Structure 1
Amino acid sequence: MAKLILEKQDLTYLQWSHIRSSSGTAGTFLKATSSLHGKKKYYKLSNFDSAKGIVGHECINEIIVDRLLDVFGIDHLEYELINADIEIEGNVYSTYLCASEDFKERGESKIALDDYYRANAEKGESHYDFCKRKGWQEYIDTMIVLDYLILNRDRHGANIEVLRNARKHTLRIAPLFDHGVSLLYSCANDDAAMNFDILADKPCNNFIGSFSCYDNLSLLPRNNRPLKRILKPHHKDIIFENLNGIISETFINRIWDMIYERYLIYENL
């Protein structure tokens, strides 16, 4: 299960770089790296506004989805949520941030799936059919279902990566990662969360399929159920363990209702 570090950490030494949000939201997503004993660690913040500070909760979404993927037994990048002080442009902020280790193995390089597709696709081949030909159908089908359950707004072609080892002549698709821009990420408070339509089919930036996460379910072969485990009500306690106080009870309940009600729709298709 995704690890929470609740004791305040001093991470003011991290140097943050600006990654412009690709989801149309105001603000910036900031990233940093550190290296200890030859191991690289990646850090990222929720949405940051230079005037208001850290205004988003995308990092918490990463932990929720991490645990959801554990419940389903799906391979994914593992995150930890850290309570920390950080410094940006001379100002110190107290926040929760995400950290993860490099999923590349020694000797591997990475390339975004959209770039790999452009270099290797056959004429007229769809993104889905290309992945199917490469042997990644099970991965892509699972991703499509997950993105529907969490209403992932930002599964663009660089949020799916291909890992290559030129010396060993191996090629694999990276574990699922980057799920922050999902769930109730656009809701700034409890009132917005209560008024959010958890079953709405909002436009999403999908590399595979269309802008509709619901319509993308039609890409799945008939009678194919990529999720091999059943989501049950008691899984709520597992997914949200120790998140009380980090997000409100309203957010916890609305996010769970969103995931579970969408899961029931998927199961009854």
Structure 2
Amino acid sequence: MERIIIPLETVPIISTSSKGDQSKWQVDNKWIKQNTRGYEGQAEVLASLILSCSTLTEREYVKYHLCEILLPNGETSLGCYSYDFREKLQEVTLERLFEANFSSTDSILNNTALSTEEKFEQLLRQVELYTGINVREELVRMLAFDALILNEDRHTNNILFLYNPMQKSWRLAPIFDNGLSFLSDEKDYPQGKPLTILKRKVKAKPLNSNFSKQLALYKGPAFINKTKLLRALETIDIDFGRAQQVLLSQLNDPSFAHLFYEGRVAND
């Protein structure tokens, strides 16, 4: 496992999630995140491993690596790191995109009269109005992936757009920040409890607290190579612990069958 030394002068960036704060640092072109509630680092790496066995290109997801973090005070901690994907583009979260246009996602997401699909369609229309791009396929695929990995942290600041001020163009950022997945929060999901019970406690975001409702939005082709994924799990030299148990449990759930294909290419 790689060891990353955090220089004394590096100021920690306190990242706020739905579960509280998490310390992370930018050292050169690496973003380092510290485990704070359990095994978030293993969850990040496992999530990116799944996507490496999918039809997504490397530009469409962030790859994470496990690491040991040597803190400036001499203490060590486990975590993960990724490389900066922003290049020289400006990052704008979904929430900030609405705020920049004198609006808020709350009027859509908190409207109990709207179905999950209606909320999604309204968000999509506004995003296209603000940016000129249609990201329907990418967003529903991301929500389906979130359901598979039980990602409970896909709030509106974890959906990111990148703006090129020179070309005045927009694109959706790669899928990132999957640490609160696979029951990685051991404070809320204690080790030793049955997975079937713990999985029922996890709440989805942002359109509905029910993962099945968001999963139902995805009607596209299978995008994860199950054969390749299982082979990768057998050969990789990483102990994912309970995260892998959760994944295998999800793979056996027929509600996710349409996300997977077997063989070399999709639709073989």
Asked if these proteins are the same fold (TM beyond 0.5), I'd say yes
Unaligned runs of at least 5 residues, structure 2:
109-120, 260-268
Q: 1:189 to 1:257 in 2, by over 3 A?
A: farther
In the alignment, is residue 110 of structure 1 matched against residue 91 of structure 2? yes
Please say which of residues 77-86 and 165-174 is displaced more in the overlay: 77-86
Displacement of 1:230 in angstroms is 3.5
Q: 1:43 aligns with which of 18, 32, 48?
A: 32
Displacement of 1:225 in angstroms is 2.5
How many pairs are equivalent?
Answer: 235
**Maintained 8 Å contact 1:34/1:42:** yes
- Partner Cα separation in structure 2 for residue 229 and residue 58 of structure 1: 22
Residue-by-residue CA offset, 1:152-210 (whole Å, 9 max, x unaligned): 10101111111111211211010000000111212369972552326526323x23x21
**TM-score normalised per structure 2:** 0.75
- Partner Cα separation in structure 2 for residue 170 and residue 143 of structure 1: 22
Q: 1:118 to 1:126 in 2, by over 3 A?
A: farther
Please state which structure has a larger fraction of its residues in strand.
Answer: 1
Q: 2:255 aligns with which of 230, 240, 265?
A: 265
**TM-score normalised per structure 1:** 0.74
Q: 1:189 to 1:104 in 2, by over 3 A?
A: closer
Aligned to 1:231: 226
Q: 1:71 to 1:201 in 2, by over 3 A?
A: farther
Q: 1:154 to 1:255 in 2, by over 3 A?
A: same
Q: 1:73 aligns with which of 34, 55, 58?
A: 55
- Partner Cα separation in structure 2 for residue 266 and residue 162 of structure 1: 27
- Partner Cα separation in structure 2 for residue 253 and residue 158 of structure 1: 27
**Maintained 8 Å contact 1:33/1:42:** yes
Displacement of 1:77 in angstroms is 1.2
Aligned to 2:203: 203
Aligned to 2:46: 64
Q: 1:109 to 1:9 in 2, by over 3 A?
A: closer
Aligned to 2:27: 34
Aligned to 1:214: 212
Residue type matched to 2:252 in 1?
Answer: E
- Partner Cα separation in structure 1 for residue 153 and residue 189 of structure 2: 23
In the alignment, is residue 98 of structure 1 matched against residue 80 of structure 2? yes
- Partner Cα separation in structure 1 for residue 35 and residue 221 of structure 2: 30
Residue type matched to 2:256 in 1?
Answer: Y
- Partner Cα separation in structure 1 for residue 93 and residue 166 of structure 2: 20
Aligned to 1:151: 150
Residue type matched to 2:85 in 1?
Answer: F
Residue type matched to 1:99 in 2?
Answer: Y
Residue type matched to 2:147 in 1?
Answer: Y
Please say which of residues 151-160 and 74-83 is displaced more in the overlay: 74-83
**Maintained 8 Å contact 2:93/2:158:** yes
Aligned to 1:243: 238
Please state which structure has a larger fraction of its residues in helix.
Answer: 2
Q: 1:252 to 1:181 in 2, by over 3 A?
A: closer
Q: 1:139 to 1:166 in 2, by over 3 A?
A: same
Secondary structure class of the residue paired with 1:175: coil
Residue-by-residue CA offset, 1:213-236 (whole Å, 9 max, x unaligned): 21112333xxx225334323x623
Identity %: 20
CA RMSD of aligned residues (A): 3.1
RCO greater where, 1 or 2, for CA within 8 Å and sep 6 or more?
Answer: 2
Unaligned runs of at least 5 residues, structure 1:
1-5, 48-54
- Partner Cα separation in structure 1 for residue 252 and residue 6 of structure 2: 38
Displacement of 1:45 in angstroms is 0.7
Residue type matched to 1:218 in 2?
Answer: A
Residue type matched to 2:238 in 1?
Answer: L
Aligned to 1:3: none
Aligned to 1:138: 137
- Partner Cα separation in structure 1 for residue 2 and residue 169 of structure 2: 41
- Partner Cα separation in structure 2 for residue 119 and residue 10 of structure 1: 37
Q: 1:115 to 1:8 in 2, by over 3 A?
A: closer
**Maintained 8 Å contact 2:62/2:82:** yes
